[in-house]
Structure 1
């Protein structure tokens, strides 16, 4: 039976007697960034029957999304209670509660994020490979990175591709604020970094983005356009929330979903969880796969003692610094993104262009839209203060999530563990101070009145600046590592293998940023697409 997201969509019932062949070969749980990729690639084989289920709507084509959701000058995920998101309550520090929104719509968070599409660094891939995942070395993933993209600036070559679903283009930096940022970075001696996807030394440059002519081309729109959704071997079901994986005799045989107020079981030969780095570990634990003590505490029967599920994760702490333009400019056209500076913080002393070799563990990302516009949807915000988003990118497993109840509706307990060590404060201090120095340089001072906050007395004192950072702390929402990949003989650090297969449970995989051992030195959107490609090819083999 074929179902879709348009009109009534009855859920297939589980049969009373096991058929010779189950209803589907694969059920993909989550039509987000990686799930869209997986569904598209798996159904390229016409004899494989794939069902995709998602808790959100699954629109057909750009018209189904509507212009507001695709407008690259807006960031839907920054708007509180946006209908295309689901918010997870978390604690960034014990004193800093926060809400982390994740996309709940076709394309997932790639539909509601900023369109930033920067590859992980070579150091990230090689670190993951050295942790027992040789398929993830930079040399082995580069062909996938080329195949998934259509680079509209560089075309086909040794580092880039021109035939993939994801269209990538870099911003032009012709907005006065972006030009001032570029000139200020040059004045302070930071190197040019014109292609942030070529693994050159970090510096200043435009942001590669999955944005074309002002439209955010999310993974759903790119991989699952109407002609792919219409494949006879692909069934999609929106508005269906997965509640747990059915596991019989050590093998995944289906998924329990809630749809139209009732629960049903979707049978399949294999299940792939692509629900995201917060929802996927929750589903695993509800299914009896997780730390034994946590499952026993809430009364969930143990299927597999997997202590690595949720025991550590990483993300990028972030603070926002606003500055006041000397004049009111027109609102940007094309994208909210301006320029971006990556730099490597030294082990001591002030950060700067001579901070040392490294992948760049600080990011200063420019927004050409005021925070008030990003939060409200952009109307009437021209001339307001403009923000820089300053993030510390060092991969650190500071977070932990725990199950609070066997009820799927009860949120996880999620602690990010930010600012737990002295280097955490130091890196953010360095990022804030470099941003202040850029704004004070002659090229920027010509167009900027300076920072709104913090003032010079705070900037010059470590203790005062640390206090300011704690009071303004946010997150880049780049969660990774909640179901990390690695060898089966290291259950404390690995829950899946390098192709997403859950250790000890046949027929069950994970394909989203949960499986990365830690967060890369860049935002993980491009890497999430890569995960879908790598896992899909492994399954097709």
Structure 2
């Protein structure tokens, strides 16, 4: 894919302006540009490399997770509060491909019950699993299963499942079987949750982000322009209709006009842009001196994410083999004891690279412990996003609201204890000498374990629901009360899915693009 540069001089007005070239934005823009009579401008705040050699090596190496490296230039940091007394920094990709360029390459579909819940919340029949399955098939080339009722073989995103041949992955699988968990060979089907490989958009050791997967397919089209280092500061709304955006590039601000504006800037930036543009809760906007364009109380009022803690274990051998194709090993999904989510709301994800390597940008750290990333993926929305300033450069305030209920705490204790049980099996003892922490006495005591979890609490960075279906946008992402303005990213998912949302973000881009191309209302 060639670099696409500046938008000046190409067109005075575009049919569609897409803000953000990430998981959803790249997919949406590429599909829209397939229609030759529609002009599309994509504005990406980060750099827009061309062919893969133009990307920094760690952005393509699927054994690394650039988003885990503090201060990496391809990410945008946001201060957040996970729980009382637990400040944190969350990050989002700021480069072509967005967070798909810096994340772990996890590409697992949402569950059927997620689609049922989203349909009931405002998506309607459009958001049923049966209606979404053709889009899920169309966006992928499944290299393991090929074309069939569940999978596609002609889509932009190549999907391959992680190799379970690594000794640690094989031991994890054996431990899961010993404890009675079923096998789940295809986590992109809708089978009973259990242990299996992780579907990934990393192939042969290369993380293929959505910028490369989608936009390279339409590169060179005269009706598409992707402009990097172009930060959108707000949406221009005139007489109730979005007519363009204010963009800053090379230190200069200008207004770019468009027939329709689609915000694909992610679940943190898209709601921030709406609020800065006067679309949101009236009282909060007025308090900041932002003229109210449309009172939409749901913008930023709630969001969901997945709390996570890292459990490390010591290998028996000083040096296990380095992973070959991905940092990911296997994954175990299971329902929590409440029984509310049979699709499995607890996740134990295996890292074959030490945490010291993930945060330091190295595959090998001799002698370092390896890790399980354990999380609760219950579709709960207890967070809130709001503005503290009308300055577009000031980050929004993020309060995740983790551990607020007894159920939150119970589920995290449960997934930590299941992980400890797995690590203590004879099967896993073949490779591991046990968890480094928490100690057995902590594991046995609810109060002590709650304290330990709070002190080690992190997040999967799976934010959803800041501009939710039903209360803020319709089934096709159209913002209530503002013509010509849509949101198409995980902002619109009313609750986070039971699996990480990267694949669902791409799905949103596909869905909204299809609606725009067909003029659906």
Asked if Structure 1 and Structure 2 have the same fold, meaning a TM-score greater than 0.5 normalized by the shorter chain, the answer is: yes
Q: 1:473 to 1:63 in 2, by over 3 A?
A: same
Structure 1 residue runs of 5 or longer lacking an equivalent are 16-22, 348-354, 487-493
Aligned match of 2:316: 326
Give SS of 1:277's match. helix
Contact 1:13–1:265 at 8 Å: present in 2 too?
A: no
Q: 1:7 to 1:522 in 2, by over 3 A?
A: closer
How far 1:380 moved relative to its partner?
Answer: 4.2
Matches within 5 A, 1:334-345: 334-345=325-336
Q: Among 349, 357, 361, which residue is 1:373 paired with?
A: 357
Q: 1:107 to 1:10 in 2, by over 3 A?
A: closer
How far 1:66 moved relative to its partner?
Answer: 3.5
Contact 1:315–1:477 at 8 Å: present in 2 too?
A: yes
Q: 1:473 to 1:12 in 2, by over 3 A?
A: farther
Aligned match of 2:205: 214
For 1:63 and 1:406, the matched residues in 2 are separated by: 39
Contact 1:329–1:383 at 8 Å: present in 2 too?
A: no
Matched, 1:138 2:115: no
How far 1:383 moved relative to its partner?
Answer: 3.4
TM-score, length-scaled by structure 2: 0.97
Aligned match of 1:350: none
Aligned match of 1:351: none
Aligned match of 2:410: 426
Contact 2:5–2:227 at 8 Å: present in 1 too?
A: no
Deviations 1:377-418 (A, max 9, x none): 015413310010000010111000111111111111110000
For 1:34 and 1:189, the matched residues in 2 are separated by: 38
For 1:380 and 1:386, the matched residues in 2 are separated by: 11
Contact 2:262–2:487 at 8 Å: present in 1 too?
A: yes
Deviations 1:153-186 (A, max 9, x none): 0000000011100000111200000000000000
CA root-mean-square deviation: 1.5
For 1:407 and 1:13, the matched residues in 2 are separated by: 30
For 1:300 and 1:165, the matched residues in 2 are separated by: 41
Q: Among 409, 416, 432, which residue is 1:448 paired with?
A: 432
Aligned match of 2:388: 404
Q: Among 3, 6, 10, which residue is 1:9 paired with?
A: 6
For 1:330 and 1:200, the matched residues in 2 are separated by: 32
Q: 1:397 to 1:219 in 2, by over 3 A?
A: same
Could you list the structure 1 runs, at least 4 aligned residues long, displaced by more than 2 angstroms after superposition.
4-15
Q: 1:7 to 1:222 in 2, by over 3 A?
A: closer
For 1:98 and 1:172, the matched residues in 2 are separated by: 32
Aligned match of 2:141: 150
Aligned match of 2:229: 239
Aligned match of 1:18: none
Matched, 1:417 2:401: yes
Aligned match of 2:457: 473
Matched, 1:285 2:275: yes
For 2:458 and 2:169, the matched residues in 1 are separated by: 23
Q: Among 29, 36, 51, which residue is 1:61 paired with?
A: 51
For 1:442 and 1:8, the matched residues in 2 are separated by: 57
Q: Among 210, 223, 236, which residue is 2:214 paired with?
A: 223
Give SS of 2:122's match. coil
Matched, 1:35 2:25: yes
For 1:38 and 1:332, the matched residues in 2 are separated by: 33
Matched, 1:307 2:297: yes
Aligned match of 2:483: 506
Contact 2:354–2:364 at 8 Å: present in 1 too?
A: no
TM-score, length-scaled by structure 1: 0.93
Give SS of 2:258's match. strand
For 2:514 and 2:117, the matched residues in 1 are separated by: 22
Aligned match of 1:389: 373
For 1:193 and 1:360, the matched residues in 2 are separated by: 12
Aligned match of 1:490: none
Aligned match of 1:190: 181
Deviations 1:214-238 (A, max 9, x none): 001111110011x522111001111
Deviations 1:281-330 (A, max 9, x none): 00000000000011000000000000000000000000000000000112
Matches within 5 A, 1:42-53: 42-53=32-43
For 2:457 and 2:282, the matched residues in 1 are separated by: 33
Matched, 1:359 2:343: yes
Count of equivalent residues? 516
Structure 2 residue runs of 5 or longer lacking an equivalent are none
For 1:222 and 1:43, the matched residues in 2 are separated by: 14
How far 1:13 moved relative to its partner?
Answer: 10
Deviations 1:99-129 (A, max 9, x none): 1110001110011000000000000001111
Aligned match of 1:97: 87
Aligned match of 1:165: 156
Contact 1:331–1:382 at 8 Å: present in 2 too?
A: no
